[in-house]
Every structure is written in structure tokens, then in C-alpha cells.
Amino acid sequence: MKYRIFTLLALLSFYASFAQDSLMFRKISNEIMVHANCYNDLRVLCKTVGHRISGSPSAAKAVEWGEKAMKAAGAEKVWLQACDVPYWYRGKENLDLLFGGKYVHVDALSLGNSEGSGGKTIEAPIIMVQNFDEFNALPEAAVKGKIVFFNYRFRQDFIFTFEGYGDAVKYRGGSPTVAAQKGAVGVIIRSMSTGEDDFPHTGGTHYKDSVKKIPAMALGNKTADKLEQACRKGQVKARLTSECHMMPKMVRSYSVIGEIKGTETPERIITIGGHLDSWDVGEGAHDDGAGCVQSIEVIRAIKALGIRPKCTIRAVLFMNEENGQKGGQAYADSAIARHENHVIAIETDAGGFSPRGIGLVMSKEQKEHLAQYTHLFLPYGVYDFSREEGGSDISPIHDKLKVPLAGLMPDAQRYFDIHHTNNDIFENVNHRELKLGAVVLTQFIWLVSEHGLN
């Protein structure tokens, strides 16, 4: 009997604690859905700073914006963490394709980090391949002096679009090197895009040191379709001019950090972050202005609700995710130098869409511990905790210090229509979806601060 009463009491207190958690979840949600400032922050970032590639004057402006926004949100301490970043400069660019005996200008974007034609015009026949296997089977003589069109399509059969991106992105990263090795003078790729439109997508590429750095441009899907048809009919030529290049010197830049000190265990740190830099097109709204303003919103909501978290909460706007991860590396190096104790690092860098899951990179025991609480997220549309997803800015702290990671996973069906294009603008972010992401991040952070990971 005694044992039964004890079990009953234990069960009751267990459920009482869940009831309290679910009440706090509701409070956080109400605060953010009604009073959030993240949508307004995003408007200011997108419309007064705009796109902000690492090392550029607008990235410096974004740092100033971030510092101000973090202070306005009520962070108790705000500081800048230095890192030296590469600065890739696009300049002017043009691509004409010879369709039916006539040169036509088409929309195209040079790939990030690529070296252009030095402003000169390269005119050459195009040779089309569908994938690397087809390219590898070509003799050098068939490639030499040509512009290679890699026509690999983003696979539509992956429901989790990040898998489709992972599958296709090797063509953005690897095409210039393999083409140069066989003497090609340039590369054109079909964008890594799920879109049924014509926006070209930029994004980082790289060259092997041993090869000539040939120009590389991306086409939107519609133009790529046209080029594919023309190539099937006969010979197509291109006229390519571009000025893009990597600046010779690294530029001093900064990540922006805002902090709320923990009450019971202030030495234990929970990091939430997104990246402040973007590619030099559009406004970097989904990628990753959304993640920055959500991270700032976490701070604002905690202060507004008067929550005194057990652990220290740190929001970080990382610099240089897109082409170097120097901000993420500096953050990990500083954590090592200061002997910091990090409980978990969380990233939001998958677009400002409705949250659907939280990726977890941690031990089986830690995942099992969190599994007790995952039902609390169901009323907020979040059900998927099965994926090993963190984020690239927080991966250095995981690699170097074994810090567990989490990554917000929104509904990413439209993310790869927009990602790295001129269409990644404020108007394409929905205020409710953006706020819901901030709600779920704040709930998750509160939960880990309160109950730990084991």
C-alpha cells in the first residue's frame, strides 16, 4: 500500500510538472504571437541593410544593426566577436546564349567564390552533360576550349528538400574543377532549385588548387530548359563576361552576441543562433535574416515574460556562414580559450517557415531524455525529432568540444525555390510562420534550461 501511494505521488508530481511545462509553452507562444518584434526586425534588416556578403560594407552595416537590435531586445550584455573573413566581389556580369543563330541575353549569376573572366568576353561552344558520369566518359578533346553545361536537376522525389539539395549541390561545388581539368574555358550549371521559375541561384563553389580557375555561372530552371532543348537540336554557343573575384586580403568582421545571465547555473551556456551574412543577391530574408531575428526574439521574449532561466542564454548572429564559417570557428575557439561550459548549441538556418521539427545531434540517452517532452510541441505543429540536423555555424563547437546540437527544421518545401536568389526578400517571409519558429525555439531553450539534457 505504502509503495502504491508513493508511486501515485510520484506520478502526480510528474504530471504536475508536465502541466506546468505546457502552461509555460502557452505563455511563451502568446507573448511571441502577439508582441513579437522579429518581423519588424527583419523588415529593418532587409530594407535598410539588404544583402550582406561577408567582408562587404553592407555586412559591416549589418553588424551595427545586429548590435542595436540585440540591445533593444533587452540582452543584458552585448558584444562583438572578431573574425577575419574572405570578401568575394561580384561586379558586372553578362551571359548571352546563341539560340537559333541569334545571341540572346539570359539571366545568370556567377557562383560565389568563383573567378570571372576578368571583364573580358569568352566566346565558346557549349557541351551539355546530365551528370558527372556522363562528363567523366567524355574525352579531353571533346571538352577542351568549350563551356560545359552541367544540366543536373534538383530531384523532386525527395520529400525532405534538404536531401535533394545535398544530392544536387555537388554540381555547384565540383563542376568548375572537373571541367577545368579537361581544359574547359567555363561552366554553366542548372541552379540547385526546386522552383518552376527562372531565378538563378548563386552559392559557394570552390576550385582545387592545381586547376585553372575558370568562370562558372548558374541558370534558372526555365532558361536551363531552353538551353537543354537547344543543345539537343544542335550546337549552341555562349558569350560570357564577368568581373567576379576573391579580394586578395581578408577583412576584419564580427559576429554579434547578446546574453541573458542564468540564475542557478550561470556557467552553463545555451546558444541559439543564425547567420548574419548572406549571398550578394536578394535581401537574405529567409537565408538567414529569419534565423537572426528569431534568435533576437528569443532574448526579447524571455525578458518580456520576466523568465529567469537557470542557464545563461546566448543569442549569436554568426558572420560568414556562406563562404568560410569564420564566425562559427571563432565562437568555438573562444569557448575553448575561456573554458566555457556549453549545454547545447541551437541553429535556425533553414528558412522562416512554419516549424515542423527539431533536429538533434547528441547521445541516445540525451535524445531519450528529451523524448519525454516532445509531445508538448504538438499543439505548435512540431512533431519531427528524428533527424540528425544541427547547423554549419555550430558544427565547430560540436567538432571541437563535443557540444550537443539542435537545429530548427521548418517546412522546407519552398526554401529551395528562394534560397540564394534575388527572390529571397522580406515580402516572401510570412509573419506568423516566422514568429512560430521563434516560439518553438524559445520553448525548446526554456525546456533544456529547466530540465537539462539528462
Residues that bind Zn ion (CB under 5 A): 287-288, 349
Angle at CA of residue 155, ends 151 and 161, nearest 5°: 130
Q: Is the peptide bond before 288 cis (omega within 30 degrees of 0)?
A: yes
Closest C-alpha among 422, 415, 93, 95 to residue 226: 95
CB of 193 to Zn ion, least distance (A): 15
Q: Which is nearer to Zn ion, 328 or 404 (CB)?
A: 328
CB of 143 to Zn ion, least distance (A): 33
Closest C-alpha among 189, 194, 131 to residue 162: 194
CB of 349 to Zn ion, least distance (A): 4
CB of 203 to Zn ion, least distance (A): 10
As a residue count, the chain comes to: 454
166/265 Cα distance (integer angstroms): 39
Q: Which strand (E) or helix (H) includes residue 21?
A: helix 2-35
Order of strands, sheet of 341-347, starting from the edge strand that comes earlier in the sequence: 77-85, 251-260, 311-318, 265-275, 341-347, 405-410, 355-361
Q: Are 187 and 146 in contact (CB under 8 A)?
A: no
CB of 383 to Zn ion, least distance (A): 24
Residue corresponding to grid cell 535524445: 367
CB of 53 to Zn ion, least distance (A): 12
Q: How, if at all, do strands 93-99 and 88-89 pair? A: unpaired
Residue corresponding to grid cell 533527424: 387
CB of 454 to Zn ion, least distance (A): 30
Q: Which is nearer to Zn ion, 288 or 433 (CB)?
A: 288
Q: How, if at all, do strands 236-242 and 77-85 pair? A: unpaired
CB of 285 to Zn ion, least distance (A): 11
CB of 326 to Zn ion, least distance (A): 15
Q: Which is nearer to Zn ion, 349 or 417 (CB)?
A: 349
350/328 Cα distance (integer angstroms): 17
Which DSSP string do the residues of 57-116 spell out, in sequence order?
HHHHHHHHHHHHHHHHTT-SEEEEEEEEE--EE---EEEEEEETTEEEEE-EEEPBT---
166/147 Cα distance (integer angstroms): 25
Grid coordinates given for 151:
544540366
CB of 321 to Zn ion, least distance (A): 6
Q: Which is nearer to Zn ion, 241 or 278 (CB)?
A: 278
The 10 Å Cβ neighbour count of residue 234 is: 7
Closest C-alpha among 114, 67, 69 to residue 279: 114
Q: Which is nearer to Zn ion, 259 or 287 (CB)?
A: 287
328/348 Cα distance (integer angstroms): 14
Residue corresponding to grid cell 552585448: 78
CB of 290 to Zn ion, least distance (A): 9
Q: Which is nearer to Zn ion, 203 or 404 (CB)?
A: 203
Q: Which is nearer to Zn ion, 142 or 169 (CB)?
A: 169
Q: Are 205 and 175 in contact (CB under 8 A)?
A: yes
Q: Which is nearer to Zn ion, 259 or 277 (CB)?
A: 277
> What are the distances in angstroms from CA 230 to CA 169, 233, 395?
24, 5, 43
318/326 Cα distance (integer angstroms): 8
Q: Which is nearer to Zn ion, 126 or 358 (CB)?
A: 358
CB of 146 to Zn ion, least distance (A): 33
Q: Are 355 and 408 in contact (CB under 8 A)?
A: yes
